[in-house]
Amino acid sequence: MNILVINQPLKNRGDESAHKALIRKLLEEYPNVKITVLFPGSVSTNDVEQFHVKDIRVDYVIHPLFISWYVYQSIKLGLYYHMRFLWDVVPSVKSWLSYFKQSDLVICAPGGICMGGFQNWMHLFNLVCAKYCHKPLAYYGRSFGPFPTRSRSNRRFKRVSMEMLSYFSYLSIRDKKTQMLADSLNLHYTSVVDTAFLDSPRVTIPTVVHDEIGDSNYFVFVPNLLVWHYAYTNRLSSDDVIIFFSDLLEEVFQVCPNLKCIMLPQTFGYKADYANDRNFFLSIKKRVQDDRIIVADDNMSSDIQQSVIAKSSFIIGARYHSVVFAINNAVPFIALSYEHKISGLLDLLGKGDCMIDIESLILTLEGRRKIIEMVVELLGKIVADENAMNHAKEMAEYGIHCFKETYKWLA
């Protein structure tokens, strides 16, 4: 059986962990499967290699889909006006479609709200390709929505999204708020959590990191610049965010003077400062000027990051997968929720008491001070919770069970 995986996000350690866990699980459940992970030519070989699951049954393909004006127009006409027959006469798109036609099943890789808030047309194009080629399509472990209708583009995007939501043969949703939206649309879905919970990687921590930590106890700190997010663009400045997280870190050091702090970059391969976690973290370290701060290299894999987190005292995370990693390793955590995928996950697991909703608070100086006060208060209350970890893993396994029931013929 041939499985085609599409829409795999890159340059993010959380997406890497979700990808590796799902692929490893599929290989375990279907020993005779052949998996092709398809990327457009705009991605870099190095970024794709960071995600590789080393197995002869998995092939990572970077296809030279060149989005010229001509190609773009054919894709747009196909999406906007259902003129999808054009895709079979444009050579590069026809070649792209050949991977869909050769597959028995198409899986949209786990990830964020590309179908919704970020309004990613390439994401939607790939989904429609599966339908155009009459292939069963699994939308696995995703969040989606909201669907604004202010502009003509918004309305078009929503229309095509609704078409695809009704086409999926398997739909699993990883957060409560997306599930509420699905309920309002009368969609059938499986309630799951992030696919990273399917795996519990344990690898050797690199010597360079181990030497910096020494025998000291430490906590993990994963802030988020946020200005890249559509909800905060032009509403926050980078300086505001750097000052806020620097002040927060100084307050945590006041409460935990004997702990070192390790900052784990979640993004990698970005040149732009707004998307480069390591540069952002170094700006915080420069402002705080404390030798207890360790900023890890951004080439540290998600498997290594989880091994580092597993040995930490606690984690403060403003990125979704940093919270996933904490729960997956039964490490106490404080989640700073900037969008519904974090709060939705914690609602599903009954861990809302470990979360601070920063969506509106972070927009004002007074609100940012309030967040710091709430973090300091929570530090004395958070504890390890193996029940939450086990519950998350059970939900992730249930998603695989339902997937197997949907596609019994894969066996």
Q: Model confidence over 127-173: pLDDT tens digits?
A: 999 999 999 999 999 989 889 999 999 999 999 999 999 999 999 99
Give the sign of the dihedral formed by CA 222, CA 223, CA 228, CA 229. Answer: positive
Residue of higher predicted confidence among 212 and 324: 324
User: How does DSSP assign 53-105, residue by residue?
Assistant: ---TTEEEEEE-----HHHHHHHHHHHHH--GGGGGTSHHHHHHHHHHHT-SE
Q: How many CB atoms lie within 10 A of CB 216?
A: 11
What's the gap between Cα 331 and its chain centre? 20
In the predicted structure, residue 247 carries a pLDDT above the cut 80? yes
Asked if 107 contacts 125 with a C-beta cutoff of 8 angstroms, the reply is: no
Lowest mean pLDDT among 48-57, 67-76, 108-117: 67-76
Q: Band of the pLDDT at 274, cuts 50, 70, 90?
A: low
Say how many CA atoms lie within 13 Å of 192 toward its Cβ. Answer: 29
Cα distance between residue 81 and residue 88, in whole Å: 16
Percent of the chain clearing pLDDT 70 (strictly above): 100
Q: Band of the pLDDT at 271, cuts 50, 70, 90?
A: confident
Angle at 179 between CA 175 and CA 184, to 5 degrees: 155
Lowest mean pLDDT among 273-277, 281-285, 294-298, 344-348: 273-277
Q: Give the model's pLDDT for residue 44.
A: 92
Which DSSP symbol is given to 272? S
Q: What is the mean pLDDT of residues 62-80?
A: 86
In the predicted structure, residue 67 carries a pLDDT above the cut 80? no
What residues contact residue 139 under an 8 Å CB cut-off, 6+ apart?
Answer: 108, 127, 164, 168, 170, 171, 172
Closest CA to 192 of 406, 407, 391, 409: 391
In the predicted structure, residue 66 carries a pLDDT above the cut 80? no
Q: What is the mean pLDDT of residues 168-193?
A: 93
349: enclosing H helix or E strand: helix 340-349
| Phi–psi pair at 271, nearest 5 degrees | -95, -35
Q: Give the model's pLDDT for residue 5.
A: 98
Cα distance between residue 240 and residue 237, in whole Å: 5
384: left (phi over 0), alpha (psi -120 to 50) or beta: beta
What residues contact residue 358 under an 8 Å CB cut-off, 6+ apart?
Answer: 318, 336, 337, 338, 367, 371
State pLDDT tens for residues 206-223: 787 777 777 789 999 999
Residue type, 270: Y
Alpha helices in 202-301 (DSSP H): 207-213, 238-255, 277-288
Lowest mean pLDDT among 62-71, 174-183, 221-230: 62-71
Q: Band of the pLDDT at 64, cuts 50, 70, 90?
A: confident
Q: What is the mean pLDDT of residues 320-335?
A: 97
Q: Band of the pLDDT at 202, cuts 50, 70, 90?
A: confident
Torsion (CA) 99, 100, 102, 104 in degrees, nearest 10: 140
Q: Please, what is the average pLDDT of the chain?
A: 93
Lowest mean pLDDT among 29-38, 153-162, 163-172, 342-351: 342-351
The label of the residue with tokens 């050949």 reads 98
**Cβ-count burial of 292 within 10 angstroms (0-12 exposed, 13-18 middle, 19+ buried)?**
middle
Q: Band of the pLDDT at 291, cuts 50, 70, 90?
A: very high
| Phi–psi pair at 316, nearest 5 degrees | -115, 115
In the predicted structure, residue 18 carries a pLDDT above the cut 90? yes
**Both structure tokens of 335:** 């989640």
Give the sign of the dihedral formed by CA 314, CA 317, CA 321, CA 324. Answer: positive
Residue of higher predicted confidence among 271 and 258: 258
Cα distance between residue 183 and residue 75, in whole Å: 31
